[in-house]
Chain A
Amino acid sequence: MRKAWIVFVIVLVICAQILALSLFHQVDAEGTAIGSSVIVIAKWNYVSASVQVSIIPLALNGSVGPVRVVLPNGTTRIVTTSPYYARFQLPRTGEAFGVNGGIGGPVPLSSQVPLNANVTQNVQDVARYVSSLQAEMGQAGSMGGLEAQLYVIIVYGAAQVSVSGYGVAY
């Protein structure tokens, strides 16, 4: 009888663990940046995430780089030959208990996908593209505390770009 209780407790623990595991979300995106490319990371405000971006300059017509990278805080990095890695801690800024929403577009967000990323290559008008994304994100408004957040990295030049991130929604 005691062993049956042990089985019951382990099953309960596993159920709780699975529930906790479902709070974590992974995001991966990659692409070849040519011309002006935009890396977009989007998340809901109740998500805390850590995202790593790697930019490896590619050789075009026999020469590598330079690649210019504009980070979300506005600072610019010039990447020449060696790969460039950046890690971003995206904090949780609010809570939206019991509120769910959804956004479409290139980086869709929903309650199932609260963290997303996308690499768009060869963007002709970067400023217009970014403002259209921001407008799309703003459509969600701030319903019951729910808010979409956007982080934009702009890459000028030819490079292999990959985004890998983990987030927890609570």
Chain B
Amino acid sequence: MLALDQVKKYRALSRLMVDFSIIVLASIAVLISSELGVNLYRLTGGFPCYYASPWLYTCTPPLTSPVQPLLQLLIGISPILIPTAGLLLGIAWVDRKLKSYRGGEWKETLGEGFPGALKVLQNLNWDKVFDDMRVSKIGYTVYFAIKILGYWLLTFVVLVFPYALGVSGLHAEVNFYVLGLVSLVLILVLTRRDLQRRYGQVVLLDTLMWELRWFSNEFRSAEFKA
């Protein structure tokens, strides 16, 4: 029954994937809106500060407000900041919802002993259970892949500045493919335990599905005979 609770939890996770998509897509919409707003502002008012050359940041005097350069910096990093915030918010939302999931509705019935256990098993919709397991497996894998991808992107972005500065300081050529590979390996090493655990759970779901399929066949035929 605990395994079935776990299946329900995974099923809830696959439903939460929609919430996750909504949050991430909304963050992309917010990002594009801010880009549109910035473009409109550039057309009408314009920013008093701009990069005259890659190393020369100049402001047209008089500077209207000291907040302007800060605002411009925020706008500059918003293509990284907003999607990252959306991704982290999505992950936090899914984790919070999953943690709040309680199960064990069967405990009370099971407390009645063998008749209770039989009642619980008879009330189970086996076809739905197997469907849930299939959907859960896909949802679980997709969610984990997106999570790793998000962490990878985040690590890449965090490492870009120190890497570019360090490598260019050594007069070597900046190669972002190398950085991509380094950040991927780093994130795989850091999440290796989680990775193993998740992989184990997917394998467990497979095994559980075969065991439950066997059990449901046995249970149904026994019920038929009775």
Contacts and interface: CB of A to CB of B under 8 A. Distances in A.
Interface majority SS (helix, strand, loop, mixed), chain B: helix
Nearest to A18: B32
B52 A11 contact: no
B44 A4 contact: no
A52 B49 CA distance: 11
Nearest to A4: B18
Given A17-B32, A17-B33, A85-B60, A52 B26 contact: no
Given A48-B43, A52-B60, A17 B52 contact: no
For chain B, the bracket of interface size reads 20 to 34
B29 A168 contact: no
Contacts of B32: 14, 17-18, 21
Contact of A162 (B42, B52, B61): B52
Interface string B12-32: 000000110110011011001
A69 to B, nearest CB: 15
A151 interface: no
B43 A167 contact: yes
A54 interface: yes
Interface in B28-56: 28-29, 32-33, 35-36, 39, 42-44, 46, 50, 52-53
B44 A50 contact: yes
Contacts of B50: 52, 164
A128 interface: no
B58 interface: yes
A54 B46 contact: no
Nearest to A25: B39
A20 B35 CA distance: 10
B73 to A, nearest CB: 17
B39 A168 contact: yes
Contacts of B52: 30, 54, 56, 160, 162
Nearest to A51: B46
Contacts of A48: 43
A167 B53 CA distance: 20
B58 A54 contact: yes
B97 to A, nearest CB: 13
7 contacts: A14-B29, A17-B33, A21-B32, A24-B39, A87-B60, A162-B52, A166-B42
Sorted nearest first, the 7 A-B pairs with minimum C-beta distance are: A17-B32, A166-B42, A10-B25, A24-B39, A85-B60, A3-B18, A162-B52
Interface of B: 18-19, 21-22, 25-26, 28-29, 32-33, 35-36, 39, 42-44, 46, 50, 52-53, 58, 60-61
Interface of A: 3-4, 6-7, 10-11, 13-14, 17-18, 20-21, 24, 30, 48-50, 52, 54, 56, 83, 85, 87, 160, 162, 164, 166-168
Given A10-B25, A20-B36, A83-B58, 17 more contacts: A6-B22, A7-B21, A13-B29, A14-B25, A14-B28, A14-B29, A17-B29, A21-B35, A21-B36, A21-B39, A50-B44, A52-B46, A52-B50, A54-B60, A160-B53, A164-B50, A166-B43
